[in-house]
Amino acid sequence: MKPDENLFQALERIFHEPNRLAIMSALCAADNGLTFVELKMICDLTDGNLNRHLNVLKESKAIRVKKAFVDDKPRTTVFITKEGLDRFSEYLGALASVIEQARDALPAKSKPSVVPAFGKTATA
């Protein structure tokens, strides 16, 4: 992000939607991609909902989708692209900066004494 760029402008709307944030987060940790079924379970989405979000991410070139037959059964595997990884990394950096800025702006008595860490709380 450029120094004169507004932090909020760096929050790409494509990733800011909670389900797409979950999909991209899951794919970041999957070197060999994830199957449609795995993503569906990880993100707790219906077939239709996951398919809709994957189409949006695919159109933006954040992911690529490979369709193949394995043991005579269709298998869809989803991979994060290099461009998608770079853009998502920038998004996460911008999001962290926005959160830090908001936390710093809180009055002292309102500041949280714990920092959320992926569904858990860890002391700051």
DSSP structural state of residue 1: -
Q: Please, are residues 75 and 35 in contact by the beta-carbon 8 Å criterion? A: yes
Burial of 18 (0-12, 13-18, 19+ CB in 10 A): exposed
For the domain 7-123, what is the CATH code? 1.10.10.10
* Sign of the torsion angle spanned by Cα atoms 46, 119, 95, 63: negative
**Structural domain spans, the chain:** 7-123
pLDDT at position 11, please?
84
Q: State the average pLDDT over residues 34-61.
A: 97
The per-residue b/e assignment along 76-108, b for 16 or more CB within 10 angstroms, e otherwise, is bbbbbbeebbebbeebbebbeeeeeeeeeeeee
Q: Residue 120 is encoded by which pair of tokens?
A: 């858990």
Average model confidence (pLDDT) for the chain?
A: 87
Under the banding of pLDDT at 50, 70 and 90, the label for residue 33 is very high
Percentage of residues in the chain with pLDDT exceeding 90? 67
15 falls in which pLDDT band (50, 70, 90)?
very high
* 47 has a pLDDT exceeding 70: yes
Q: What's residue 9's pLDDT? A: 77
* 10-14, 85-89, 106-110: range with lowest mean pLDDT: 106-110
Alpha-helical (H) ranges within the chain are 13-16, 18-28, 36-43, 47-59, 82-105
Is residue 76 predicted with pLDDT exceeding 80? yes
Q: How confident is the model at residue 44 (pLDDT cuts 50, 70, 90)?
A: very high
Work out the burial of residue 38: count CB atoms within 10 Å of its CB; fewer than 13 is exposed, 13-18 middle, 19 or more buried.
middle
